[in-house]
């Protein structure tokens, strides 16, 4: 066994130990509940744009993109554009002609202007409209056709019904060995008071949609090692690895 293989084995042992430490798992959940009312995830930028993600999930996505080297990253839910620019920056480092395809029902004019004037805008295509509408799906499929690998992230409306429909529509785009990442599955694990003014809550969340989706689709499985490694994440059970064509 060479030194790299030895190090990788140690990392796997570390991750297994984290997963087995139930006290630490609970402390991580408690920390997230304490930090969320302070809108912790809103406090970070990627290359100038608000990214609205936890640092742990940003790092996890970096690892996936570097490993998969996708030709297309489809993102539903653009918001300020920080995630799209982050994905574009990774594709720039990977090289090639990779593109980010950002879909949002409302791409506000000031956000679009900032994204389009960004130095990495040549890596980003924006589509405005409901992520589940036939018109939008036709555009997405046309831009993805013939390209691969394809990675998909879902981060728009977080209700069970909407996320489940997104999962059914976008999962066929994901290529074997790549990932379908469902953000904000953590809604299911948080107190309902955090979402008093939202249509989603425990029992009506991205995670419940993932549970139902996995019962009907054998192409995907939860990458539990990512959950164990991150400990603090907005996407527990949301990193879905595509294991079949």
Q: Check whether 196 has a pLDDT greater than 90.
A: no
Q: Say what the pTM is.
A: 0.96
Identify the burial level of 182 via C-beta atoms within 10 angstroms of its C-beta, where 0-12 means exposed, 13-18 middle and 19 or more buried: buried
For the chain, what is the mean pLDDT?
Answer: 97
Give the pLDDT confidence score for residue 197 in this predicted structure: 86
Burial degree of 183 (CB within 10 A; 0-12, 13-18, 19+): buried
Cα–Cα distance, 231 to 218 (Å, whole number): 26
| Tokens (6 digits) for 50 | 């608000």
Q: How confident is the model at residue 162, as a pLDDT?
A: 98
Where along the chain do its domains lie? 3-242
Find out whether 112 and 126 touch, Cβ atoms under 8 Å: yes
Model confidence pLDDT, tens digit, residues 41-99: 999 999 999 999 999 999 999 999 999 999 999 999 999 999 999 999 999 999 999 99
Distance CA 108, CA 117 (A): 14
Across the range 125-148, mean pLDDT stands at: 97
Q: DSSP assignment, residue 85?
A: H
CATH architecture of 3-242: 3-Layer(aba) Sandwich (3.40)
- As a whole number of angstroms, the distance between CA 52 and CA 59 comes to 13
* Residue 192 pLDDT level (bands cut at 50, 70, 90): confident
Distance between CA atoms of 3 and 83, rounded to whole angstroms? 35
Residue 32 has pLDDT above 90, yes or no: yes
Band (pLDDT 50/70/90 cuts) for residue 167 is: very high
- Give the tens place of pLDDT for each residue, 94-120: 999 999 999 999 999 999 999 999 999
Which pLDDT score is estimated for 142?
A: 97
């Amino acid at each position: 066994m060479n030194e790299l293989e030895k190090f990788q084995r140690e990392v796997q042992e570390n991750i297994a130990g984290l997963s087995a430490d139930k006290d630490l798992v609970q402390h991580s959940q408690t920390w997230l509940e304490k930090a969320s009312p302070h809108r912790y995830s809103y406090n970070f930028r990627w290359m100038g744009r608000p990214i609205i993600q936890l640092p742990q999930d940003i790092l996890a996505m970096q690892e996936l993109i570097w490993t998969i080297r996708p030709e297309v990253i489809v993102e539903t839910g653009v918001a300020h554009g920080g995630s799209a620019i982050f994905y574009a920056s990774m594709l720039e480092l990977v090289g090639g002609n990779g593109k980010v395809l950002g879909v949002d029902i409302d791409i506000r004019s000031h956000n679009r202007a900032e994204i389009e004037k960004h130095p990495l805008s040549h890596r980003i295509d924006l589509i405005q409209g409901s992520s589940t509408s036939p018109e939008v799906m036709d555009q997405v499929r046309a831009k993805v056709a013939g390209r691969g690998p394809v990675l998909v992230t879902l981060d728009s409306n977080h209700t069970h019904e909407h996320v489940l429909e997104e999962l059914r529509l976008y999962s066929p785009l994901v290529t074997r060995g790549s990932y379908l990442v469902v953000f904000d599955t953590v809604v299911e694990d948080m107190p309902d008071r955090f979402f008093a003014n939202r249509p989603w809550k425990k029992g009506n969340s991205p995670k419940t949609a993932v549970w139902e989706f996995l019962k009907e689709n054998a192409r995907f499985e939860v990458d539990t090692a990512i959950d164990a490694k991150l400990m603090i994440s907005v996407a527990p059970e949301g990193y879905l690895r595509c294991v079949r064509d």
